[in-house]
Amino acid sequence: MAELIVEELSGLGIATVMARKGVTGATIGAILGVEPLTGPGAAYADDLTIIGTGPESWLVVKANAAPDFANHLNTALAGLASVSDQSGSYAVTRLIGPQARTVLQRGAAIDFHPNSFRSGSAVTTVIAHIGVIIWQTEDQPAYHVATFRSYTHSFRHWLDTTIATL
């Protein structure tokens, strides 16, 4: 079996950002220093990732975030967007290596072929009846999978079972 690295990420600041009526992603991006995509996808700047999850709605993830990350985000986007702290709501698992794509293909009805899903691609879908947000961070391939924290055990069970069948 080819190498597959699975790790739970920690120290992340996570927030949902929803633009107010008439506010564009470009306006939000100018403040955050990275312009979010207009559709599903992930945009990066340093340790900040913005994942499109719906119309004018994003999941913003910051590595090594301070505990008050969402408060700072809320202050920066005051009057432009609604910000909801999700740091305690999501668990993020990183899958790296040649088998990462195969594992995800076994659970999500998404085309993960490199011609369709590559670095910067993102999707909101389900795996084993569990809502997930998946974004590809590198072409090698490497993926981040966000699940609601209360489903972490169930997701990990599916993941371990799937890996065992490779």
Instruction: Give per-residue pLDDT as tens, 5-63.
Output: 999 999 999 999 999 999 999 999 999 999 888 888 999 999 999 999 999 999 999 99
Q: Does the predicted model carry a pTM greater than 0.85?
A: yes
> Rounded to the nearest 10 degrees, how much is the dihedral formed by the CA atoms of 79, 71, 35, 121?
-130
What mean pLDDT is reported for the chain?
A: 95
Which DSSP state fits 11? S
Show the domain range for 29.
Answer: 11-85
95, amino acid identity:
L
- Do 126 and 144 lie in one domain? The reply is yes
Residue 90's pLDDT band, with cuts at 50, 70 and 90, is very high
Omega cis (within 30) before 141: yes
Q: Taken in order 37, 117, 139, 11, is the CA torsion positive or negative? A: positive
Same domain? For 19 and 78 the reply is yes
Going along the chain, which residue ranges are E strands?
5-9, 13-19, 41-45, 48-54, 57-62, 81-85, 90-96, 122-127, 130-138, 142-148
Q: Is the distance from CB of 123 to CB of 133 less than 8 angstroms?
A: yes
Q: What is the mean pLDDT of residues 89-117?
A: 96
Is the same domain home to 62 and 115?
no
Domain boundary among 62, 85, 108: 85
